[in-house]
Amino acid sequence: MLRHLLKLIWKRKSRNLMLTLEILLAFVLVFAIAAFGARSWQLYRMPLGYQPGNVWSVTIKTSRDTPPMKGDAQLRDHFRRTLAALPQVEDVAFSNFSPFQHANMSSTFRLPPDARAVRVGMMETSDAFFPVLGMQALAGAWYSAADDGLADTPVVINRLFAEQLAPGPDAAGRAVGKIYMSSEYSGTPSRYVVRAVVEDFRQQGEFSTPRPYMLLRFGPDATMHGAQTILLRMKAGTPRSFEAVLQAQLKGMRPGWEFAISPLDDLRSAMHKVDMAPLLVLSVVAAFLLLMVAFGLFGVLWQNTTRRIPEIGLRRAIGASAGDIYRQIIAEQFLLSSVAMLAGLALLVQLPLTGALGAGLNWQVFFAAAGLAMLIIYLLSLLCSVYPGWRASRLSPTEALHYE
């Protein structure tokens, strides 16, 4: 049966070529959307590195020329003690920016022993940052006031950075105590010493790609960019109405500053909407294009079936049943779709093989996207061939043989 179908397809190769190309393009399009969705789902299931529940973010808004609390440790301590005295607040921490914000800070560092350069994301934080966000250390201990006065800046790094700093088994444990230097500043380079290693820290949320990351300690007297965010761990069940009380307390400490207060869960939901918007737009575009492909495919199959009425009549005259004709039309379309998708897979498999798209198209994403795309194309082929196949199977041998 398969051999017979291949012969029929080959004899009509000039007619089937455009149909095959149309299916191939549809397959590549669906594969791209499915790969984007599969990668998003894969990222969403990865560890976030912290617990945003019951944490509120307070963003301090001042002029660009006067970053808040850049060199005033006493002012930070005043904010900490005043806010911690509120009965609804369990703990207070400071950072450059908040989790779930599209903010970014990175630099290049030289790692021992060969001084290779690595690009690393970074954030400045206070000592209480880790308990406020419920973070857990894989190895080492958080930096603290005991690090005051050190020549090297204490940092906490994630596992991906630890694996580059200390390659091999138990990279997290062996990275603790390691010293490395920055490479983007003139003069004497800054030195950093690892105090602890965390599993991961994805500041920009679940849909951000994991990368080497470091959290460095605010200096006792100065910071690089200022403490522009206050993170408050609130007691469970604290109502949003407390925001007005908190706003009044903050304004009382610094009347000239503006404060934007948001629970991290709200920032998380807002970031999810922004991150998912491209997938939704691409899905709508893909659905529209697939609809156009379906109309074209249906028209071509209708026309091909009409041209083959004498052939169908001859088959019916020599004993083929209506079911045989029906199955033949659908099987031919499935076989044609399979040929087109195999050609597409032969091209697309080069992407994970060569690593052209990096971790964005790893083998798990590739197989998930390929399976979903094949399923959709097979369903599309089935839906488009059902009616032409049914129409062909309903022809009587006499009517078909006398068709002109």
Q: Which of 13-27, 79-93, 261-275, 368-382 has the lowest mean pLDDT?
A: 13-27
Q: Of 65, 59, 66, which Cα lies nearest the Cα of 101? A: 59
Q: At what angle do helices 264-307 and 363-393 cross, to 10 degrees?
A: 40
Instruction: For the chain, give the mean pLDDT.
Output: 82
Which H/E stretch holds residue 219?
none
**Over pLDDT 90: what percentage of the chain?**
42
**186 vs 275: which has the higher pLDDT:** 275
Burial of 246 (0-12, 13-18, 19+ CB in 10 A): buried
pLDDT, position 388: 66
Nearest by Cα to 385 from 311, 331, 312, 323:
331
* pLDDT tens digits along 283-301: 888 888 888 877 777 776 6
What's the CA gap between 154 and 312, in Å, rounded? 80
Q: What is the pLDDT of residue 287?
A: 83
SS3 401: helix
Q: CA-to-CA distance for 125 and 132, rounded, in angstroms?
A: 11
What's the confidence (pLDDT) of residue 309?
Answer: 59
* The pLDDT value given to residue 304: 65
* Angle 377-378-384 from CA coordinates, rounded to 5°: 90
Instruction: Specify the pLDDT at position 306.
Output: 61
pLDDT at 223: 65
Phi, psi (rounded to 5 degrees) for 184: -115, 10
What are 127-168's pLDDT values in tens digits?
Answer: 999 999 999 999 999 998 888 888 888 999 999 999 999 998
Q: Could you tell me the pLDDT band of residue 175, with boundaries at 50, 70 and 90?
A: very high
Two tokens, residue 177: 């105590």
pLDDT for residue 379 is more than 80:
yes
Over its C-alpha atoms, the chain yields an Rg (Å, rounded) of 31
What is the rounded distance in angstroms from the CA atom of residue 34 to the CA atom of residue 373? 7
**Would you place residue 116 in the very low, low, confident or very high pLDDT band (cuts 50, 70, 90)?**
confident
* pLDDT for the residue 335: 79
Whether residue 202 contacts residue 149, with contact meaning beta carbons closer than 8 Å, is answered with no
Spatial neighbors of 360 by CB under 8 A, at least 6 apart, are 39, 209
DSSP string, 136-183: -EEEE----GGGTT-SSEEEEEEHHHHHHHS-STTHHHHHTT-EEEES
Choice between 233 and 303, residue whose per-residue pLDDT is larger: 233
Measured between alpha carbons, how far is 216 from 196 in angstroms, rounded to an integer?
Answer: 11
In this prediction, residue 114 carries a pLDDT of 79
Q: Give CA–CA dist 214/106, Å, rounded.
A: 9
* Closest listed residue to residue 34, CA positions, set 372, 398, 359, 391: 372
Q: pLDDT, tens digit, for every residue of 123-136? A: 999 999 999 999 99
87 pLDDT more than 70: yes
Alpha carbon distances (Å) from 362 to 90, 262, 315, 350? 42, 36, 48, 11
pLDDT, position 320? 57
Distances (CA, A) of 282 to 94, 95, 288, 352: 38, 35, 10, 22
Q: How far apart are CA 15 and CA 11, in angstroms?
A: 9
pLDDT of 403 above 60: no
Alpha-carbon span 185 to 190, nearest angstrom: 8
Count of H helices and E strands in the chain? 13, 11
Q: Is the N-terminal amide bond of 113 cis, ω within 30° of 0?
A: yes
Q: Can you tell me the mean pLDDT for 28-38?
A: 91
Compute the average pLDDT of residues 95-117. Answer: 87
Under 8 Å between Cβ of 216 and 175: no
pLDDT, average across residues 303-323 = 60
Residue 16 pLDDT grade (very low, low, confident, very high; cuts 50, 70, 90): low
Task: For residues 389 and 45, give the distance between their C-alpha atoms in angstroms, rounded to a whole number.
Answer: 43
Please report, for residues 72, 84, 155, 198, 326, the alpha-carbon distance to residue 170 in angstroms, rounded to integers and kept in the order given: 39, 38, 19, 13, 62
Q: Label residue 237 exposed, middle or buried (CB < 10 Å: 0-12, 13-18, 19+).
A: exposed
**What pLDDT was estimated at residue 77?**
86
Instruction: Name the DSSP class of 235.
Output: P
